[in-house]
Amino acid sequence: MASAPAPALQHDQSAARPPEFVEALAKGIGILESFDAAHPEMTLSDIARRVGLSPAAARRSLITLQALGYVGQTGRRFHLRPKVLTLGSALFFSAGIGEVLQPDLRELVEQFGDASSIGTLNGEDVIYIAHSSVQRARRATATIGAHYPAYATSLGRVLLAGLPDDALDAYLARVQPEALTSKTVTDVKELRKLILAVRVDGYSTTVDQLDYGITALGVAIKGPDGRTVAALNTSGYSGMVTPEQLIAERLPTLQAAAARIGQAIIRYPILQSIMGP
């Protein structure tokens, strides 16, 4: 099955930058982010093109990243090295993700099978911060750290529904939805209706929006102040499960798990700080 395309890699040039902003550091991070499942190895020119740098600037950053052990090279092609994993694992352990979030996900998967994830907004994307699955199909992968357009996922629509009106209006004014499948909703007016319906219903369902074969149900995880800080979902194979089945069979359990997680994160300030838009 086709995977969702990689999001734009260039950093938002319109965002206000403080005087202390280090451009060289931003370039290096952009290079690390440019590697993905579709681009596990790249030449210097490939990297420069994906990140929007000149070959000379990309080369300087790559030399630095190589010296630090984050990037390796075979012939003319560059690739990530295992040291990159330390960047994500530091957050995983320091924020208590494994201790607080994973147990409920494992219970959901043990009860229903399929997969369950937790995500939060990162710009216009939903980024997955916890995941559990028994599935092995070739489809868009919801591993920790994966990020996909918010409009095309159950998690993303729940998070968008939790935004204040002005923030949601700003998102819908700038988003340019792409057809990731033939069923992806790309009309902004229709997307607004779906997001507003999530506010009323208290959950979101999607079918084949991000990738073929994914039917999902998502609910909000709320912080101490009642604000949506993250979203929790359960998903199965399209054709084997319908949105109506997910609602009837899994919604109460999913909502109970979201409530437990919302209470649990109160004890973890770092986890609270990384959640939310």
pLDDT in tens, 214-262: 999 999 999 888 999 999 999 999 989 999 999 999 999 999 999 999 9
Q: What is the pLDDT of residue 94?
A: 61
Return the structure tokens found at 275: 């959640």
Q: Tell whether 65 and 128 lie within a shared domain.
A: no
* C-alpha Rg value of the chain to the nearest Å: 19
Once rounded to an integer, what is the mean pLDDT over residues 180-184? 96
pLDDT of residue 14: 42
* pLDDT surpasses 90 at 72: yes
Asked whether residue 16 is assigned to any structural domain, the reply reads: no
Query: Where does a domain end: 31, 55, 86?
Result: 86
> CB under 8 Å, gap of 24 or more: what pairs does 78-81 form?
78/41, 78/42, 78/43, 78/44, 78/47, 79/35, 79/40, 79/41, 79/42, 80/32, 80/35, 80/40
Which residue do the tokens 């000149």 mark?
A: 54
DSSP state of 150: G
**So what's the pLDDT on residue 165?**
96
Helical packing angle, 23-34 and 44-51, nearest 10°: 110
pLDDT-derived band at 96, boundaries 50, 70, 90: low
Q: Look up residue 217 and give its two tokens.
A: 């149900």
Give pLDDT, residue 264: 87
- pLDDT value for 122: 87
> Among 7-11, 36-40, 83-87, 151-155, which is the least confidently predicted range?
7-11
Q: What is the mean pLDDT of the segment spanning 194-208? A: 97
CATH code of residue 78: 1.10.10.10
Q: What is the average pLDDT value for the chain, to the nearest integer?
A: 87
User: How many domains does the chain fold into?
Assistant: 2
23: left (phi over 0), alpha (psi -120 to 50) or beta: alpha
Give the residues across from 75 on adjacent strands: none
Residue 271 reports pLDDT greater than 90: no
Give the pLDDT confidence score for residue 79 in this predicted structure. 94
Residue 6 has pLDDT above 90, yes or no: no
Q: Is the domain of 219 the same as that of 193?
A: yes
Q: Is residue 107 located within the same domain as residue 44?
A: no
233 vs 249: CA distance, rounded Å: 13
- Please give the Cα distance from 217 to 262 (Å, whole number): 18
Q: In the chain, what percentage of residues exceed pLDDT 70?
A: 87
My answer on whether 154 and 179 are in the same domain is yes
Listed in order, strand segments (DSSP E) in 150-222 are 204-207, 214-222
Domain interval for residue 255: 95-274
End of a domain among 61, 86, 111? 86
Residue 153 phi, psi (nearest 5): -130, 155
φ/ψ bin of 88: left (φ > 0), alpha (ψ from -120 to 50), beta (otherwise): alpha
* Of 174, 162, 266, 176, residue with least CA distance to 224: 266
How high is the pLDDT of residue 2? 38
- Strand-pairing partners, residue 244, are none
Q: Which helix (H) or strand (E) holds 229?
A: strand 228-237
Q: What is the pLDDT of residue 10?
A: 44
